[in-house]
Amino acid sequence: MRKHRILLADDTDDIRAVFQEGLESRGFEVVPAATVTEALRLISTESFDVLLSDLHMPDACDGFTVVNAMRHTQPNAVTLVLSSYPVLQAAMTALLLQADQVLVKPIGFAEIADIIKKKLADPSAHTALNKERVAAILERDLDPTIKSWMARVEHTEELTAIPLTYQERTGHLPTLLSDLVRRLRLGLAPHAKSPISHAAREHGILRRKQGYTVPMVVEESRILQVCIFNTLQNNLGSVDFSTVLLDVMTIADEVDSQLKQAMLGFMEALAAKASN
């Protein structure tokens, strides 16, 4: 009978040796890796049933790097992460969503072996690798994002000083968010030359006619960015972490660009009124 193969990634020699001996005594074949580079090489050249990786090896992001590589190269492998910080277990589980489970040290070989056997015996318990790009999430959750924005605006005395209907207040958001999604899908690097949001300029003109001030336009733009990131927070389970950093930088850049266009429109309307 073929033994299930475990890739054991840990940069501490003693821990690696003890874990290898303990797991091999329980019927597994264990292949050790002392560095991230070695782990990535093994993932790309050999097949494994299980990944057992330390979270810090030695840097905080190393565990995620190894897990991410395993999930994309060998998506059917069970992926487990070891951590010494129990108070952060929930947060790490959210950040390392591509891992099947976070195991908090100290933990015994028997418990680890039992967890591995149960997960190998029940493929339905395996975390599915079904990740979405940020653009897809924002497009899918357009309405919740707008409702979140409106809820925050309604609790901002500065903005509600000007009475507007729901449609008058939010009418511009679908187009601005669509422009943002289009920018994300173009895959342009932050600060790269990108399409100008004409809707943002029109929004600035409209806000001036509605009686907004410059600080009010800036404040509602700030709230929009907060709501966009809140939407991503609510969808951590489906975010593609391999691209999320670039996407977040692009969001910040595009929201700033849209604010600039809105202010240009605002000043254009202000100048037109002054000339009349």
Q: Which pLDDT belongs to residue 204?
A: 96
Same domain flag for 79 and 207: no
Total domain count for the chain? 2
Same domain? 103 vs 232: no
- Do 221 and 107 belong together in one domain? no
Q: Do 95 and 162 belong together in one domain?
A: no
Write out the residue range of the structural domain in which residue 229 sits.
134-275
Q: What is the largest CA-CA distance in the chain?
A: 89
Q: Helix count (H) and strand count (E) of the chain?
A: 13, 5
Tokens read off for 86: 């129990």
Same domain, 120 and 144: no
Question: Do 241 and 169 share a domain, yes or no?
Answer: yes
| 94 and 156 part of one domain | no
- Residue 84 in tokens: 């010494």
Q: Do 245 and 263 fall into the same domain?
A: yes
How far apart are alpha carbons 242 and 72 in whole angstroms? Answer: 10
Q: Give the range among 48-52, 84-88, 196-200 with minimum mean pLDDT.
A: 84-88
Q: Find the mean pLDDT for residues 137-158.
A: 96
Same-domain pairing of 38 and 113:
yes
Task: Read off the pLDDT of each residue in 6-14 and give the average, rounded to a whole number.
Answer: 93
Q: Which residues pair with 12 in a beta bridge?
A: none
Q: Please write the tens of the pLDDT for every residue from 190-222.
A: 666 778 899 999 999 999 999 999 999 999 999
pLDDT at 190: 64
List beta partners, residue 79. 51
In this structure, what CATH number is given to the domain that contains residue 247? 1.10.490
**CATH code, domain carrying 72:** 3.40.50.2300
What's the predicted TM-score (pTM) here? 0.59
